[in-house]
Amino acid sequence: MAKKVSIKDIAAAAGVSATTVSIVLNGRAREMKISENMASKIEKLAEKMQYRPNHFAKGLRTGKTNTIGLIVDDISNYFFGHLAKVVEEEADKKGYTVMFCSSENNEGKSRNILNMLVDKHMDGYIIAPTTFMLPEVEKLIDEKRPTVLIDRYFPDLNSNFVTVDNFNGSLDAVNHLASKGIRKIALVTNDTDQIQMQQRIDGYLEGLKKNGLAFDKSLVKKIPFGWPEEKQVKELAQFFNRQRAGFDAVFFTSNNLGVAGLEAFSNLGINVPEQVSVICFDDNDLFRLGKPGITVVSQPIKQMAKKAVEVLVRQIEQSGTEPSNIVLATQMVERDSVLNKSTRNH
Amino acid sequence: MAKKVSIKDIAAAAGVSATTVSIVLNGRAREMKISENMASKIEKLAEKMQYRPNHFAKGLRTGKTNTIGLIVDDISNYFFGHLAKVVEEEADKKGYTVMFCSSENNEGKSRNILNMLVDKHMDGYIIAPTTFMLPEVEKLIDEKRPTVLIDRYFPDLNSNFVTVDNFNGSLDAVNHLASKGIRKIALVTNDTDQIQMQQRIDGYLEGLKKNGLAFDKSLVKKIPFGWPEEKQVKELAQFFNRQRAGFDAVFFTSNNLGVAGLEAFSNLGINVPEQVSVICFDDNDLFRLGKPGITVVSQPIKQMAKKAVEVLVRQIEQSGTEPSNIVLATQMVERDSVLNKSTRNH
DNA sequence: ACGTTTTACTAAAACGATTTAGTAACCTTT
DNA sequence: AAAGGTTACTAAATCGTTTTAGTAAAACGT
C-alpha cells in the first residue's frame, strides 16, 4: 500500500526544503531564482515518485478547485444533455472539470444545489436558473463569484448570460406558419415564468399581430413544468381534442413539450401535417429523423455552451471584466410538419 | 464583504474551544459528554452566524468529499443522459453530489479523467469503462476505492458491476425476427471490444444458430466508435446499398447506431418496415414516438442507475463488502418496425 | 576591500477543520 | 476523607500545501 507522496517526501529526496519543491512544481522556478539544476532534479523526482498534489491542501491555501459547477433543469433532456456535453468538452480544454446538478425546476432543490456547489468551492458557475434562484444568484454575483447564466437570465440582474433570440425565433415560426396560409395557431408552453418562455410567448403574440391574426386565449395551453411525461401527454390530448376544430397548427415552445404533443396527436389518431401543422422551438433526434420531420426553430447549442465556458473562464482568470450579454440567433429548419394551405385560401 | 465564519469564530462567540464546536457540529455531543446547554448554544450560534464548514479543511483531515465521480461515454447520449439523471437523483438523496465526465471512448481522455477524479478525491466511482481503462480501474480497486462499473465490465476483474443481460436481450431480438419469418438478419454494431457489445453479438450469433439461420459475414457491419454521426450515416448508407438484396432485417446493437441507420434508410428512400425490418438494442424518444415505432430491446435504465448508486454508497459507507454483480433483465418492446413475413413463407 | 545586490535557497506561519491526549472540577464509594 | 470515576471541557498536533519573511554565500561595483 504505497503511501501517498507529498511535497515533503520530494523535498527529502532532493535534499531541499518543501518551499523549493512547491515553487518548482508551480512553475515559478525561474521567477524565484531556483537553479536550473535543482529545478530539473525536482521535476524528475516528482515524476519518478508519481507525485500528485493534494487537492484539499492546495484548495485550502489557494481556494481554487479547477472545477466549474453546472446547473441545468434536467440533464437527460436533449437540449441540456447536449449543452452539458459541450460545456464539459470546452471546460476540459481549459483545464477544468465540471460538476453538474439538475435543479428539476424545484425550489428547494435549486437552493440546496447551489449552496452545495458553493460549499465545494467551484471556481465558477454556469446556471440555467429557475426563477426561485434569483436571491441565490444575486448573492453569487454580489460575492463576485464568476457566474454565467445560460438559456435564460434575470432581466433586472446585471450578470453574464448567454441566450438565444427567443422573441425573433418565435416570430419567425409564426411568420412561417402564416406564410403557408395558416391562420389559427395554437400555443403550447409551460407555466414557469422563466424569461425565455415569456419571450417566446411574446414572439408568438407579435407574430399574430404582424400577420393580422386574432389572438384566441382558448388556443393557449400552459403545462405545469415538471409533470411526468405521461401526464403531459394526457393533458395535451384532452386540450387538442376539445379544441379540435379550433386550430390548424400548434407552436410548441420547448422540445419536450413538442415530444409530448406528438405523442398526444399519435394517441388521438391525428395526422401531422395533414390534420394539423406543427412547429417547435428547439430541435432533437425525433424531430430531425422522425416521420414526418418536424419544422423547428433550432438553437445553436454548441455555440451557446462554448460561449458560456469562454466567458466564464475569462471571468475566473481575470476577474473584474464587464458582464457579457450574449444573444445568439436561432435558425428555422424547415421540414415536413407544416402543410401549405395558401393554395386553398388564396 | 462578510468574511467566512470558521469554527474558531463560533468558538470565540460561544466562549469555548474549537474542539468543542467541532464535536457538537459533528453530532458527537452526547457521545463526548458535552452538556446539553452548550451543545444547543453552539448549534444556535452556528445557525445564526451562517456557518458552513470548509470543504477543503474537512477533506484534508477526513479525506471525504461527499462526491461521486461518474464516467460515461457521452453525456448527451440518450442512454447515458438518462442514466446520469437518475444517478444524480439517487446520489442526492444520500447526500452526495456527482461529478461527471465523458470519456468519449478515447484512450488519453479516459485516463486523464480518471486521474483527475482521483486527484479530487471522489468518495466513489461509477464508471462505464472503456477497454483502455482496465489498468486504471484495476488500480482503483486495488487501492480499495469504492467503484461500480455500469453497462459493462471486465470479465477478468472482480469488481462491482451493474449490467443488463445483453446476451439474452439480443437472443430475444433475433428470436423475434425469426418468429416473423425473417431469415436474413444483418447486424450493425461498433468496433469497440467492450464486453456488452461482444455479448450482444454473441446473442445474435446464438439466435441465428437456434433458428437454423446461416451466419453471413457480409451482413455484419462494424462502425468505428466515436465517428461523427454524419460519417456513420454515410458509411451505413453505403453498406445498406451494397447489400440491398442481402437482408430482410437489421439488428442494431446500440441506440445511436439505430438512429444513424434510420437516417441512412431515410436518405436511401428505403421504407421501414416494408422494405426492411428494424430492431434495436436500447430505446429512445425517436424509436418510441417516431413513425414507424421501432421495436427495441429496452434496458431498465432507472433500475441500473439506482442499483449502481445503492451498491456504491453501501461500499463507501461500510467498506469491505463483497463485490456485487448485478445483471438485470431486458425487455422486448414490440412496435411497428418488424414486418411479418411468415404468411408468405409458410 | 568594502558595501550592496543577487542568487539560491529555508523556517515557520497559515489555510480550517479533526483528533489525540490531556486536565480541572465535581461526584461517588467505602 | 482518600481513591477512583465521571463530566465537561481544552491545548496542541495534524492533514499537505503556499506564502511571507527571511538568510548565508557569492557576485558585483567602485
Q: How many CB pairs under 8 A join A and B?
A: 131
| Closest residue of chain A to B101, computed from CA coordinates | A88
Cell numbers placing A123: 471556481
Say what percent of chain A tops pLDDT 70.
98
Question: Are A207 and A220 found together in one domain?
Answer: yes
| Per-residue pLDDT band at A320 (split at 50, 70, 90) | confident
**Extended beta strands in B197-310, E state:** 220-223, 249-252, 277-281, 295-298
Name every chain A residue with its beta carbon within 8 A of the beta carbon of B65.
120
Q: B278: which strand partners? A: B250
Report pLDDT digits (tens) over B76-117: 999 999 999 999 999 999 999 999 899 988 888 898 899 999
Residue A268 lies in a domain: yes
Question: Are A139 and A171 found together in one domain?
Answer: no
* Cis ω for the linkage preceding B323 (within 30 of 0): no
Number of folded domains that form chain A: 3
For residue A345, count other CB atoms closer than 10 A to its CB.
10
Q: Tell me the average pLDDT across B63-80.
A: 95
State yes or no: pLDDT of A3 exceeds 90.
Answer: no
Strands across the sheet containing B220-223: B220-223, B185-190, B249-252, B277-281, B295-298, B331-333
Residue nearest to nucleotide C12 (CA to C1'): A19
Question: Are A34 and A17 found together in one domain?
Answer: yes
Q: Does A285 touch chain B (CB under 8 A)?
A: yes
Nearest to A74 among B55, B76, B85 (CB): B85
CB contact under 8 A, A57 and B57: no
- CATH value at residue B294: 3.40.50.2300
Distance, CA of B18 to C1' of D10, in Å: 9
For B127, the enclosing helix (H) or strand (E) is strand B124-127
CB contact under 8 A, A57 and B60: yes
What is the pairing mode between strands B295-298 and B331-333? antiparallel
CB contact under 8 A, B53 and A290: no
Report pLDDT digits (tens) over A155-182: 999 999 999 999 999 999 999 999 999 9
For residue B341, count other CB atoms closer than 10 A to its CB.
17
Residue A222 half-sphere exposure toward CB, CA atoms < 13 A: 11
On average, the pLDDT of chain B sits at 94
Give the pLDDT score at B319.
Answer: 72
| Closest residue of chain B to A72, computed from CA coordinates | B85
Name every chain A residue with its beta carbon within 8 A of the beta carbon of B102.
85, 88-89
Contact A126, A67 (CB under 8 A): no
Residue B77 lies in a domain: yes
Burial class of residue B122, CB neighbours in 10 A (0-12, 13-18, 19+): buried
Give the pLDDT score at A244.
Answer: 85
On average, the pLDDT of chain A sits at 94
Give the pLDDT score at A1.
Answer: 45
**Which strand D nucleotides have any atom less than 7 A from protein CB atoms?**
7-12, 14-21
Give the pLDDT score at B345.
Answer: 42
Question: Are A231 and A292 found together in one domain?
Answer: yes
CA-atom Rg of chain B in angstroms: 26
Cα dist. B167→A233, B98, B131 in Å?
A: 34, 31, 19
Cell 462578510, residue located: B2
Name every chain A residue with its beta carbon within 8 A of the beta carbon of B117.
97
Report pLDDT digits (tens) over A238-282: 999 998 889 999 999 999 999 999 999 999 999 999 999 999 999
Residue A2 lies in a domain: no
Give the pLDDT score at B173.
Answer: 98
| Per-residue pLDDT band at A346 (split at 50, 70, 90) | very low
Distance, CA of A310 to C1' of C15, in Å: 30
Question: Are B308 and B160 found together in one domain?
Answer: yes
Question: Are A48 and A70 found together in one domain?
Answer: no
Q: Does B85 touch chain A (CB under 8 A)?
A: yes
CB contact under 8 A, A82 and B76: yes
CA-atom Rg of chain A in angstroms: 26
Distance from CA of A213 to the nearest CA of B (A): 32
Q: Which of B85, B104, B111, B271 to mutate to test the interface with A (most CBs of A within 10 A)?
A: B85
Distance from CA of B42 to the nearest CA of A (A): 20
Query: Which CB contacts under 8 angstroms, 24+ apart, belong to B268-273?
Result: B268/B237, B268/B240, B268/B241, B270/B240, B272/B337, B273/B336, B273/B337, B273/B338, B273/B339
In chain A, what is the straight-line distance between the N-terminal and C-terminal CA atoms, in Å? 83
Distance, CA of B21 to CA of B42 (rounded, Å): 7
Distance, CA of B75 to CA of B114 (rounded, Å): 16
Report pLDDT digits (tens) over B3-40: 689 999 999 999 999 999 999 999 999 999 999 999 99
Contact B100, A69 (CB under 8 A): no
For A127, the enclosing helix (H) or strand (E) is strand A124-127
| Closest residue of chain A to B55, computed from CA coordinates | A120
CB contact under 8 A, A88 and B100: yes
Q: Does A222 touch chain B (CB under 8 A)?
A: no
Question: Are B176 and B238 found together in one domain?
Answer: yes
Residue B2 lies in a domain: no
Distance, CA of A22 to C1' of D29, in Å: 34
Question: Are B223 and B205 found together in one domain?
Answer: yes
Question: Are A178 and A211 found together in one domain?
Answer: yes
Question: Are A139 and A260 found together in one domain?
Answer: no
Say what percent of chain B tops pLDDT 70.
98
Distance from CA of A52 to the nearest CA of B (A): 7
**Which strand C nucleotides have any atom less than 7 A from protein CB atoms?**
7-12, 14-21
Name every chain A residue with its beta carbon within 8 A of the beta carbon of B263.
289
Q: Which of A1, A3, A51, A76 to mutate to test the interface with B (most CBs of B within 10 A)?
A: A76
Q: Tell me the average pLDDT across A322-332.
A: 97
Report pLDDT digits (tens) over B232-263: 999 999 999 998 889 999 999 999 999 999 99
State yes or no: pLDDT of B342 exceeds 80.
Answer: no
| Residues around strand D, C-beta < 7 Å | A 4, 6-8, 18-19, 22-23, 25-26, 51-54, 56-58, 60-62; B 15-20, 23, 32-35, 37-38, 57, 60-61
| Residues around strand C, C-beta < 7 Å | A 11, 15-20, 23, 32-35, 37-38, 57, 60-61; B 4, 6-8, 18-19, 22-23, 25-26, 51, 53-54, 56-58, 60-62
State yes or no: pLDDT of A294 exceeds 70.
Answer: yes
Give the pLDDT score at B1.
Answer: 45
Q: Which of A85, A89, A229, A270 to mutate to test the interface with B (most CBs of B within 10 A)?
A: A85
Report pLDDT digits (tens) over A109-149: 898 899 999 999 999 999 999 999 999 999 999 999 999 99
Residue B59 lies in a domain: no
Residue A284 lies in a domain: yes
Q: Tell me the average pLDDT across A212-231.
A: 94
Contact A46, A9 (CB under 8 A): no
Q: Give the residue with greater pLDDT, B3 vs B298.
A: B298
| Per-residue pLDDT band at A303 (split at 50, 70, 90) | very high
Give the pLDDT score at A232.
Answer: 97
Contact B256, A257 (CB under 8 A): no
Report pLDDT digits (tens) over A23-80: 999 999 999 999 999 999 999 999 999 999 999 999 999 999 999 999 999 999 999 9
Question: Are B120 and B206 found together in one domain?
Answer: no
Residue B200 lies in a domain: yes
Name every chain A residue with its beta carbon within 8 A of the beta carbon of B59.
55-56, 59
Residue B253 lies in a domain: yes
Question: Are B158 and B82 found together in one domain?
Answer: yes
Say what percent of chain A tops pLDDT 90.
88
Between positions 141 and 160 of B, the ones with CB within 8 A of A are 143
- CATH value at residue B42: 1.10.260
For A72, the enclosing helix (H) or strand (E) is strand A67-72
Alpha helices in B125-228 (DSSP H): 134-142, 166-179, 195-210
Q: Give the residue with greater pLDDT, B25 vs A107.
A: B25
Distance from CA of B211 to the nearest CA of A (A): 32
Q: Tell me the average pLDDT across A294-307.
A: 98
- Identify residue A337 by its one-letter amino acid code: S
| Closest residue of chain A to B264, computed from CA coordinates | A289
User: Which residues constitute the domain of residue B37?
Assistant: 7-53
Q: Does B266 touch chain A (CB under 8 A)?
A: yes
Give the pLDDT score at B343.
Answer: 59
